[in-house]
Amino acid sequence: MRPGERIKDRRRGPDKLIKSIRWLAIAGWINFSISLILFDEAKPDFETFFDRLFHIQMRYHWNQTYAFLSLMWFLLCIVLSIVGLWINKKRHRRRNDEYRLNLIVLGLISLIGTGFYLFSFKLF
- Structure confidence by residue, pLDDT tens digits, 40-86: 999 888 888 888 888 888 888 889 999 999 999 999 999 999 999 99
Does residue 124 surpass a pLDDT of 60? no
- Dump pLDDT digits (tens) for 110-123: 999 999 888 888 76
- Top pLDDT among 21 and 108 is at 108
What does the alpha-carbon distance between residue 33 and residue 66 come to, in Å, rounded to a whole number? Answer: 14
Every domain of the chain and the residues it spans: 17-120
Rg (the chain; Cα; Å): 22
- The confidence band for 17, taking pLDDT boundaries of 50, 70 and 90, is confident
Picking from 37, 42, 43, 24, the residue whose alpha carbon sits closest to that of residue 106 is: 24
Contact 39, 67 (CB under 8 A): yes
Does residue 100 surpass a pLDDT of 90? no
Sequence-distant (6+) residues with CB within 8 A of 63 are 41, 42
Question: pLDDT at position 121, please?
Answer: 81
Q: Where are the alpha helices (DSSP H) in 44-100?
A: 49-53, 64-90
Question: pLDDT at position 89, please?
Answer: 87
The identity of residue 60, as a single letter, is Y
The identity of residue 117, as a single letter, is Y
pTM for this prediction: 0.78
Sequence-distant (6+) residues with CB within 8 A of 7 are 1
